[in-house]
């Protein structure tokens, strides 16, 4: 991994120049940068794959652009002394580039920015050799009509941000096969990421026991079994969202429930009002959220019946 430190303070004139020389993304650009996230090994992994439907070879790709509103989030890269000026462990974040490419990480902060931002460039290893080889293998190129390998940015969960899925990228073209309507050759194209995971996980919750009897007021341990599936994320984040009751709860009727965490065991009071023929119904709600930010909830109930015939 190549590490590049970049911190700039630019005045208005220089910023305007940067804006006007940058290539613009086109609505009909035949190149896509697909982006999605997964949970893996206690970390957040953002994945990127380039879909090259153009007539040109792509030899370099940037994730994030040094331009207002188009860069990757600064965290956690800006807290690493090798990228910026704050101490964190060197393995706090990791870049896995496209096949046969390398990563160059640049953290920057212009004078108008409230916080640092990041650009991660990926370029073929052969192109980086000094001197360059006389014959290139082409293994590092993303050829027309193909999908690239998958690049990954791995970060700690504390720095999870949808900015990793809604930013822009820039691809660089090797040949003269792509042209503007006026005939000029296109050498690079800015492209908004396409967030491909837009479907929430499916989640099913069952509770055991589902009935508390007798209604003697004692606390009973309840365990949740949760089944969750997602189109992309193998390990969506599970959270206990709430436990509610059809009756007014006493201060100690719910015990050992850690809301906002993956807590699947807690205690409920086996009690109900004697005049309530429907009995007491506890409703327990969990959520499942994938690393692309899609969230689903599901509930199950535990009943304290009025009588055993209920």
How many domains would you assign to the chain?
Answer: 2
Same domain, 131 and 280: no
CATH number for position 112: 2.60.40
Among 179, 195, 211, residue at a domain's last position: 195
Q: Residue 126: which domain range?
A: 2-195
pLDDT at 274: 86
Cα within 13 Å of Cα(115), Cβ side:
11
Rounded CA gap, 296 and 202, in Å? Answer: 7
pLDDT at 201: 98
Please indicate, yes or no, if residue 274 is contained in any of the structural domains: yes
pLDDT at 146: 93
Same domain, 240 and 208: yes
Tell me the pTM: 0.84
pLDDT at 5: 42
Of the candidates 260, 199, 200, 204, the residue with the CA atom closest to the CA atom of residue 228: 204
pLDDT at 27: 42
- Which regions in the chain score pLDDT beneath 70? 1-28, 80-92, 125-140, 310
pLDDT at 52: 95
Please indicate, yes or no, if residue 309 is contained in any of the structural domains: no
Same domain, 149 and 297: no
Same domain, 215 and 290: yes
Which parts of 54-150 are beta strand (E)? Answer: 58-63, 72-73, 94-96, 101-108, 117-124, 146-147
Please indicate, yes or no, if residue 84 is contained in any of the structural domains: yes
CATH number for position 269: 2.60.40.10
């Amino acid at each position: 991994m190549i590490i590049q430190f970049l911190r700039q303070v630019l005045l208005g004139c220089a910023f305007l120049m940067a804006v006007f020389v940058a290539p613009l993304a086109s609505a009909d650009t035949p190149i896509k940068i697909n982006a999605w996230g997964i949970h893996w090994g206690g970390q957040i992994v953002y994945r990127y794959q380039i879909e090259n439907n153009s007539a040109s070879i792509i030899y370099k790709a940037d994730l994030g652009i040094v331009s207002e509103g188009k860069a990757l989030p600064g965290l956690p890269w800006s807290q690493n002394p090798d990228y910026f000026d704050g101490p964190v462990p060197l393995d706090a974040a990791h870049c896995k580039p496209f096949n046969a490419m390398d990563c160059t990480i640049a953290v920057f902060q212009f004078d108008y920015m409230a916080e640092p931002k990041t650009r991660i460039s990926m370029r073929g290893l052969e192109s980086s050799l000094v001197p360059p080889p006389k014959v290139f293998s082409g293994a590092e190129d993303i050829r027309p009509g193909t999908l690239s390998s998958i690049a990954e940015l791995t970060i700690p969960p504390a720095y999870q941000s949808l900015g990793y899925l809604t930013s822009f990228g820039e691809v660089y073209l090797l040949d003269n096969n792509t042209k503007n309507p006026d005939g000029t050759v296109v050498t690079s194209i800015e492209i908004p990421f396409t967030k491909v995971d837009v479907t929430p996980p499916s989640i099913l919750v069952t509770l055991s026991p589902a009935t508390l009897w007798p209604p003697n007021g004692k606390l009973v341990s309840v365990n949740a079994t949760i089944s969750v599936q997602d189109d992309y994320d193998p390990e969506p984040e599970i959270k206990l969202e709430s436990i509610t009751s059809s009756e007014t709860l006493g201060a100690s009727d719910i015990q050992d429930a850690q809301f906002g965490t993956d807590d699947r065991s807690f205690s409920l009071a086996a009690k109900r009002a004697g005049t309530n023929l429907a009995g007491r119904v506890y409703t327990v709600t969990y959520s499942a959220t994938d690393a692309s930010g899609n969230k689903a909830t599901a509930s199950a109930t535990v009943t304290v019946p009025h009588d055993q015939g209920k």
